[in-house]
Amino acid sequence: MANSRYDLVVIGSGPGGYVAAIRASQLKMRVAVIERDRPGGVCLNWGCIPSKALLNSAAVMDTIRGASKEHGIEVGEVRFDFTKVIARSRAAAEKLSKGVLYLLKKNKIDYFEADAVITGPHTVSLAPVEGKSAPQAAALEAERILIATGSGERLFPGMKVGDGVITSKEALVLDTMPASVVVIGAGAIGLEFGYFYSAFGAKVTIVEIEKQMLPGFDAEVAEELRRAFVKRGVTVMLGHGYKSMVRKGGLWSVAVTANGAEKSIDAEVVLVAVGRTPLSQNIGLEKIGVELERGGFIKINDSFQTTVASIYSIGDVVRPPLLAHKASAEGIAAVEIMAGVREPGFDLLAIPGCIYCEPEVATVGLSEADAKARGIEVKVGKFPFRAIGKAVAIGETVGFVKIVATKQYGEVIGCQIIGHAATDIISEVVLGKTLETTTAEIGKTAHPHPTMSEAIMQAALAADGEAIDF
């Protein structure tokens, strides 16, 4: 291995770490990346990519099952090999993980498979990972260090994974289809896996302590999604908090409470999806003076610097939202600020959030309730997919687009979409928000017909009282 002195050492090779490393290399920095698991981090190996492969399989199952009823296409009895479903998702993860390693090599970035501990403002020690070869250096020196260690699955106190108790990570390698599943938590992860298991025929119950699915999201979107889940046969228990669970034969009996009353749900598998926790422990932060905030998140300033000037941090380990594309955008911003080609600052409201169940959910910026809570006078345009020609033609009429804009100027400050392909068409509004677009500009922009994106144009027109088709 080459000299162990670097301009930048990145700890973590997830979508924040490897993207930051490549951008730093483009900016003529000498870069090393340290990863203890696999290239690509959680997202590529245990999160975004394999889970979306599974959700694609679920969507195919939905399509096949609806072929006769919706399209008049006879397909006979529908059967599946769940082992192959899981294997396909793992193959996608493996392919992209290898792709990350290729990109690092292509950009002349040194890659170390090791456990990293920061021992000083400019030094990182490397230790062997159990079951893997010893790293090619005992320590690295760097002008700057970037922490991109991400987040891990959260469990309730006293809860252990195993014997049918799983998190999203175990769900990705569970090669036997459970007959029944209790999902604790109705956030993005819980809903995606709830949809996945229901599409393959499992009896699914979703438990959420808050009064709506997707706590913190637009209430109308959450209610539309709840109705869609109930329609597909999922039991949704809102306002119910997890209390305990006990093994009864081959099932788990999960006790939940609501308004002082206790209920129990029996299921073969319990999927715990109650959030994620930042991986800020056991990397030496306390000893060198890097401060943590509530919840274990690393404290940073507008330049992504921690309380130690030479140490920076990005992604899940610093703050919500815990999203891969946010980590990538922060990684690019951090190294460009280091290189002096970008001003400090980062707009979290420009980061879209996407949920890949069916119907999909996508949001950016402020909801109507958020804007009003900030004292912003708004106008709102809402348009249903049932009035969109493409949606009717393909049988995907559930959901709507909702645009939130300032009342005075019509500047778009937020958008919420629930419906088929929501996670793709949100990008138009994300770009528009970056360019400080208005409802008038979107409304007067010709959209191709027939497309799902026409709903964005019509929602913008609706905000100005000019919607044509509804």
Each residue's pLDDT tens digit, 309-359: 999 999 999 999 999 999 999 999 999 999 999 999 999 999 999 999 999
Q: Does 157 sit behind a cis peptide bond, omega within 30 degrees of 0 on the bond before it?
A: no
Backbone angles phi, psi at 240, to 5 degrees: -115, 125
- Show Cβ contacts of residue 109 under 8 Å, excluding neighbours closer than 6 positions: 21, 22, 25, 31, 32, 33
Segment holding 332, helix H or strand E: helix 324-338
Question: Hey, what are 285's tokens?
Answer: 């932060």
**Whole-number Å distance between alpha carbons of 81 and 71:** 25
Query: How high is the pLDDT of residue 305?
Result: 98
Instruction: Choose the catalytic residue: 122, 240, 325, 449.
Output: 449
Q: Between vectors from CA 284 to CA 278 and to CA 289, what angle results, nearest 5°?
A: 95
- Show Cβ contacts of residue 23 under 8 Å, excluding neighbours closer than 6 positions: 331, 332, 335, 336
pLDDT surpasses 50 at 139:
yes
Please give the model's pTM, rounded to 2 decimal places: 0.94
Closest by alpha carbon to 57, among 244, 192, 221, 210?
Answer: 192
* 160: confidence class by pLDDT, cuts 50, 70, 90: very high
Q: Tell me whether residue 449 is one of the annotated catalytic residues.
A: yes
* 470: confidence class by pLDDT, cuts 50, 70, 90: low
Looking at the chain, the whole-number percentage of residues with pLDDT higher than 70 is 99
**Whole-number Å distance between alpha carbons of 205 and 235:** 5
pLDDT surpasses 80 at 3:
no
Place of tokens 């760097």: 142
**Whole-number Å distance between alpha carbons of 261 and 258:** 5
CB 267 within 8 A of CB 182: yes
The amino acid at residue 214 is L
**Whole-number Å distance between alpha carbons of 384 and 401:** 6
Backbone angles phi, psi at 263, to 5 degrees: -130, 160
**Whole-number Å distance between alpha carbons of 359 and 391:** 12
Question: Hey, what are 418's tokens?
Answer: 């629930």
The amino acid at residue 61 is M
Maximum CA extent, the chain: 67
Query: How high is the pLDDT of residue 1?
Result: 45
Mean pLDDT over residues 197-219, rounded? 97
Closest by alpha carbon to 145, among 303, 332, 298, 308?
Answer: 308
Rg (CA), the chain: 24
pLDDT tens, position by position, 257-295: 999 999 999 999 999 999 999 999 999 999 999 999 999
CA pseudo-torsion sign 161, 165, 168, 173:
positive
Question: Hey, what are 113's tokens?
Answer: 């498979």
- As a whole number, the mean pLDDT across the chain is 95
Torsion-angle region of residue 425: left (phi > 0), alpha (psi -120 to 50) or beta?
A: alpha
Segment holding 26, helix H or strand E: helix 17-26
- Show Cβ contacts of residue 227 under 8 Å, excluding neighbours closer than 6 positions: none
Query: How high is the pLDDT of residue 2?
Result: 45
Query: How high is the pLDDT of residue 65?
Result: 86
Q: What is the DSSP string of 422-470?
A: HHHHHHHHHHHHHTT-BHHHHHTS---SS-TTHHHHHHHHHHTT--S--
Question: Hey, what are 470's tokens?
Answer: 């509804």
Query: How high is the pLDDT of residue 69?
Result: 80
Where are the alpha helices (H) located in 27-81, listed in sequence order?
Answer: 41-46, 48-65
Give the burial string for 252-272 (b: 16+ CB within 10 Å, else e): bbbebeeeeeeeebbbbbbbb
What are the C-alpha distances in Å from 304 to residues 109, 163, 275, 333, 463?
22, 41, 23, 9, 37
Q: Between vectors from CA 103 to CA 100 and to CA 105, what angle results, nearest 5°?
A: 110
CB 352 within 8 A of CB 412: no
CB 124 within 8 A of CB 139: yes
Q: Which DSSP category does 315 fall into?
A: G
Q: Give the chain's length.
A: 470
